[in-house]
Amino acid sequence: MDNQQLKQSLSKKFDFLSDWEEPYGLLTATLPAEKNLEVLQGLYDDDQLKFRFLTDLTAVHFPDRKDEELCVVYHLHNLQDNIRLRLKAYLPVANPAIHSAAALFSGANWMERETYDFFGVNFLNHPNLTRILNVDEMDYFPMRKEYPMEDPTRVDKDDEMFGR
């Protein structure tokens, strides 16, 4: 099965997939955020597609895309046929909520916590959506592109010998 056949069977099965592209040979599609579990479960259960391994789950911040600032990215892998697939779901930054895939892929638990930690994506029904890498007291999402490169208001770089 190559990318063209995969694209055909996918668009037949899920007609709402859009924005097909193939950067560096990796088939990529965009799905509506509320359908993410339906698609992931369908890809998992299908006897032909067999996408049963979640390679990566992360997010990207596009500050200039109105009402779809945050993009959640799923990398799936069919280990039997060695085919990879990338799925994107766009969310508004004002209410970045998407269903958690932790029940389907155990590995998603850690990656969704990390994505929440750095981008603030709210994974609904995640078993323990708390910060995982940053300090618990942190009150912002550091990987969002909304901070100046050199923040003059910072107070933790106040040393008169080593400061800026």
Partner 1 sequence: MTTKLDEVIGLARANSLWPLPFATSCCGIEFMATMGANYDLARFGSERMGFTPRQCDMLLVAGTIAKKMAPILRQVYLQMAEPRWVIAIGACASSGGIFDSYSVLQGIDQVIPVDVYVPGCPPRPEGILDGIIKLQKIVKNESLRRRNAPQYKALLNEYGIQ
Positions that interact with partner 1 (CB under 8 A): 133-135, 138, 142, 156-157, 159, 161-163
Nearer to partner 1 by C-beta: 97 or 133?
133
Q: How far is the CB of 163 from partner 1 (least distance, A)?
A: 8
CA distances in angstroms from 162 to 90, 150, 158, 159, listed in the order given:
42, 16, 8, 5
Q: How far is the CB of 129 from partner 1 (least distance, A)?
A: 18
Q: How far is the CB of 159 from partner 1 (least distance, A)?
A: 6
Question: What burial letters (b/e) apply to 53-68, b meaning 16+ CB within 10 Å?
Answer: ebeebbbebeeeeeee
Residues 46, 6: Cα–Cα separation, whole Å? 12
**Whether 59 contacts 68, CB under 8 Å:** no
Nearer to partner 1 by C-beta: 23 or 163?
163
**Whether 45 contacts 37, CB under 8 Å:** no
Nearer to partner 1 by C-beta: 105 or 116?
116
Nearer to partner 1 by C-beta: 66 or 164?
164
Residue (of 114, 91, 94) closest to 34 by Cα position: 91
Q: How far is the CB of 117 from partner 1 (least distance, A)?
A: 11
